[in-house]
């Protein structure tokens, strides 16, 4: 196992706890607002995790109990970019890395999830929220718009809800977030619910989840016939894995499978 803290910085904790990599924004005094260092660190950690088979899931969260992430740090002179000649911004690169990840990403929303923080949460495959968490896109209040966030948020919630959040800038509660499908679960004990969800994930086939997440992400933007052509070839590849053979054998022998992850 690689040193789990080798990528940590004063702004971002990178810690491997067993099979789960935890990425925690440690800027509690700034409501865990995103700095360019935080975004670059997350991008690097998610990309590096793709080659580590001992990492089965990645949890993204913020320090403390008040904020998951308040978005870009508006106190910074260059809150949104460090170089206007650079085509790829730090948030965009992070969203690209998350999209390319075949290790499941889970957001642990421990408090306010605002603006660019909505992008961090939406780029994850699942989300668990504390009951006191609130969600918002307040960019119009400071003269900008949640442009990059739309790329990962627009397919998660109903269009009318999205329009209202973007155009009014007003937040919604955790109960409303659950109702519109923005999060999977809301709980008074966010860590207990997160562990419950991780337990339901970690005992399943690593190979099936890795290739399955790849398939899920590929078919999302495909037309029906294109997705059928793609998936009918994918299912054949699923069956060739060692995990598929072991899973079927364990089922026939009425025992728990011993996954090898290949």
pLDDT at residue 121 tops 90:
yes
In terms of CATH, what superfamily is 12-202?
Answer: 2-enoyl-CoA Hydratase; Chain A, domain 1 (3.90.226.10)
- The pLDDT score that the predictor gives to residue 74 is 73
pLDDT in tens, 176-199: 999 999 999 999 999 999 999 999
Lowest mean pLDDT among 6-10, 107-111, 151-155: 6-10
Rounded Cα–Cα distance for residues 128 and 46 (Å): 19
Note the pTM of the prediction, 2 decimals: 0.92
CA-based nearest residue to 46, from 88, 79, 93, 11: 93
State the average pLDDT for the chain. Answer: 92
- The pLDDT score that the predictor gives to residue 50 is 96
State the burial class of residue 126 (Cβ atoms within 10 Å of its Cβ: 0-12, 13-18, 19+). middle
- The pLDDT score that the predictor gives to residue 83 is 55
State the burial class of residue 92 (Cβ atoms within 10 Å of its Cβ: 0-12, 13-18, 19+). middle
Q: Where are the domains of the chain?
A: 12-202, 206-252
Rounded Cα–Cα distance for residues 134 and 148 (Å): 20
- The pLDDT score that the predictor gives to residue 73 is 78
List phi, psi (to 5°) of 145. -150, 150
Q: Say how many C-beta atoms besides its own lie within 10 A of residue 197's C-beta.
A: 20
The confidence band for 1, taking pLDDT boundaries of 50, 70 and 90, is very low
């Amino acid at each position: 196992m690689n040193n789990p803290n080798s990528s940590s910085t004063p702004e971002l904790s990178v810690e491997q706890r067993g099979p789960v990599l935890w990425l925690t924004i440690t800027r509690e005094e700034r409501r865990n607002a995103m700095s360019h260092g935080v975004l670059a660190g997350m991008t690097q950690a998610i990309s590096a995790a793709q080659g580590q088979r001992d990492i089965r899931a990645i949890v993204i969260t913020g320090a403390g109990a008040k904020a998951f992430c308040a978005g870009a740090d508006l106190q910074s002179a260059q809150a949104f970019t460090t170089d206007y000649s650079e085509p790829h911004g730090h948030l965009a690169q992070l969203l690209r890395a998350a999209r390319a990840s075949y290790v499941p990403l889970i957001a642990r929303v421990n408090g306010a999830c605002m603006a660019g923080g909505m992008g961090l949460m939406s780029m994850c495959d699942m989300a668990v929220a504390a009951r006191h968490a609130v969600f918002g896109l307040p960019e119009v209040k400071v003269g900008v718009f949640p442009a990059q966030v739309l790329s990962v948020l627009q397919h998660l919630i109903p269009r009318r809800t999205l329009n209202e959040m973007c155009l009014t800038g007003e937040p919604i509660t955790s109960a409303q977030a659950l109702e519109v499908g923005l999060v999977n679960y809301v709980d008074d004990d966010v860590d207990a619910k997160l562990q419950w969800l991780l337990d339901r994930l970690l005992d399943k086939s690593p190979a099936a989840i890795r290739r399955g997440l790849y398939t899920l992400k590929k078919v999302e933007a495909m037309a029906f016939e294109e997705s059928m052509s793609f998936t009918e070839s994918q299912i054949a590849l699923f069956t060739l894995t060692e995990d598929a053979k072991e899973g079927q054998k364990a089922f026939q022998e009425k025992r728990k499978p011993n996954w090898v992850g290949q």
